[in-house]
Amino acid sequence: MQETSADPAVKTELARCFATHHALKSFAVDVRVTSRGVPMLRSVPMLRNGVVQIALERPGRLRMEAQGALREAGICLLVASSNYIYEALSPAKTYRVKSIPADGDALTYGLQNNEILPLPFFSQLLVDKDGLEALLKEYATVQMARETVIGAPAQRVFTLERESRRVILRFDEKAGLLRQAILTQGNIEIREDYRGLRVNPRLPADLWRFVPPRGFRDEDAQGAAIG
């Protein structure tokens, strides 16, 4: 870990964006994931493209569903509610249920332990208590700029760098909501675009009911049959 070199005004503005996300009662967004390059390190996630549909509601409900190549790579559906997380895995066409630790929260546990979104920033913004501090300790320099495009809301752009790694986070300037995250490391670039944001919507209760995709079987039942 290292101390970040950043102007206090930059830290204050970034803290405002974190506070905005922590204050959300419910949220829905489509995240388009695009990537390029060849991963050479285990620390770099597998490169897959697609869209992840996310809906969440505090204090403890989460739904994440992948489309495109992301859907075929691993977990394609995650539903976290009450004391359980349900996951459907595309390669094996199975689903499983996991208990959440007694001191855990379904929303927090689901975001921190999912394999659907390749980058960690969404979790850091929404549920990680020390997300901002961890981010500032990880990157040696943080810079901020204002970006304007005709016909679009102004954005705050934060550039975080350390050695060979660079992160760009774009937030809506007025609302303080994440619009884009880009990680560049070596020849790898992973980009998440956050679209169709719905802030504090009334979400239907059936979102939190896990229904296995057609043709998927219970992982435990399949294991018992094989044994």
Mean predicted confidence (pLDDT) in 198-222: 92
pLDDT at residue 222 in the model: 55
Mean predicted confidence (pLDDT) in 139-147: 91
Contacts of residues 38-42 at CB distance under 8 Å and 24 or more positions apart, as own/partner, are 38/187, 38/188, 39/188, 40/186, 40/187, 41/185
The CATH class, in words, for 8-226 is mainly beta
At 14, give phi and psi (nearest 5°). Answer: -65, -35
Q: Is 93 exposed, middle or buried (0-12, 13-18, 19+ CB in 10 A)?
A: middle
| Entry field: residues in the chain | 227
pLDDT at residue 74 in the model: 82
Residues 6+ apart with CB under 8 A from 194: 29, 30, 31, 177, 178, 179, 180, 181
Question: Is a pLDDT exceeding 90 seen at residue 63?
Answer: yes
- pLDDT for 92-125, tens place per residue? 999 999 998 877 788 999 998 888 888 999 999 9
Residues 6+ apart with CB under 8 A from 118: 33, 35, 45, 46, 48, 190, 192
DSSP-assigned letter for residue 200: S
Mean predicted confidence (pLDDT) in 212-221: 90
pLDDT at residue 4 in the model: 55
Task: Give me the residue label for tokens 């559906």.
Answer: 77
Domain range summary for the chain, segments of one domain joined by +: 8-226
Of 85 and 42, the structure prediction assigns the larger pLDDT to 85
Question: Is a pLDDT exceeding 60 seen at residue 206?
Answer: yes
Residue 224: CB atoms within 10 Å: 9
Question: Is a pLDDT exceeding 50 seen at residue 216?
Answer: yes
* Helical H segments across 142-227, by residue range: 219-226
**0.85 exceeded by the pTM?**
yes
